[in-house]
Amino acid sequence: MEFLLENILNLIGFLVGLTIGIMSLIGFRNTGSPTLFRLTIAFFSISAGFFVIWIGYMLEDFVIKTGNIERGLQTLGIIIQTVGYFFIAFSHSIKSFFPKSRYFRTVGIFPLFLVSSVQVEHIFRSVSFILLAYGAIETMLSYIENKNRGAIFVAFGLASLALGEFLGWYSFVFPESILNSLSISIKIVGLIALFIPISKIPLKRIKFDSNLE
């Protein structure tokens, strides 16, 4: 039952990510915003990651039939999603790849040493969690300073994606539990929350008054 549910949720994640990616692309074409360009890459990457993992489930259902998803495809999907998470975090809050604070750099890098001896998949999940959690914190700090309501949805979306990655990593400890399905569901909620600010972007090309030129 969990296997079928995860299959369906990954398909939903692919469609949701693809839809938001298309909306971001339309917004970029209409406004020329570099942030929207980065978000377009981000959501298409996340969508592609869900798609690769979904393909792994479909191959298992109809071809391999071993009872477990092909690990290589799942790892590839997670790596592609991590690329998308980086662009999302960078677009919304992170000004540089590493924080200026020495303390935050230490906290960010330390978990990588803790997981360096395990599978590559775990490492990329850890990287995703670090990026998303830091992005959520920075966005909340930005909201406190500027009182921009859109930042609330962004912070909630990033925090949900971070929690989803954390539960996805923890599901390896309890592989037969519903944690992985819950992880995917929470990540889909996070994507929808990020979509709310993007949905307010004009879908029609902005026209400037010729008298102002």
Render the chain in DSSP notation, one character per residue. -HHHHHHHHHHHHHHHHHHHHHHHHHHHHHH--HHHHHHHHHHHHHHHHHHHHHHHHHHIIIII-SSS--HHHHHHHHHHHHHHHHHHHHHHT-SSSS-SSHHHHHHHHHHHHHSTTS-HHHHHHHHHHHHHHHHHHHHHHHHHHH--HHHHHHHHHHHHHHHHHHHHHHTTTSTTSSHHHHHHHHHHHHHHHHHHHHTTS-SSPP---GGG-
The amino acid at residue 192 is I
Q: How many Å apart are CA 139 and CA 190, to the nearest integer?
A: 14
Q: What is the pLDDT of residue 207?
A: 43
pLDDT value for 201: 67
pLDDT tens per residue across all 213 residues of the chain: 567 788 888 999 999 999 999 988 988 888 888 888 888 999 999 999 999 999 988 888 777 776 667 778 888 999 899 999 988 877 755 443 334 444 444 444 444 444 443 467 777 888 888 888 888 888 888 778 877 777 888 889 999 999 998 888 777 766 667 888 899 999 999 999 988 887 776 655 544 333 433
- Among positive and negative, which fits the CA dihedral 74, 77, 83, 86? negative
Q: What is the pLDDT of residue 188?
A: 94
- Angle among Cα 12, 18, 21 to the nearest 5 degrees reads 140
Question: 2-205 has which CATH code?
Answer: 1.20.1070
Token representation of residue 198: 């993007």
Token pair in block for residue 51: 């798609």
Task: Identify the pLDDT of residue 96.
Answer: 39
In this structure, the number of other CB atoms found within 10 A of the CB of residue 4 comes to: 11
- Supply the pLDDT for residue 13: 93
pLDDT, position 109: 44
Residue 81's pLDDT is 93
- Rounded distance between C-alpha atoms, residue 38 and residue 111, angstroms: 27
Q: CA-to-CA distance for 89 and 165, rounded, in angstroms?
A: 14
pLDDT at 137: 85
The whole-number pLDDT of residue 48 equals 96
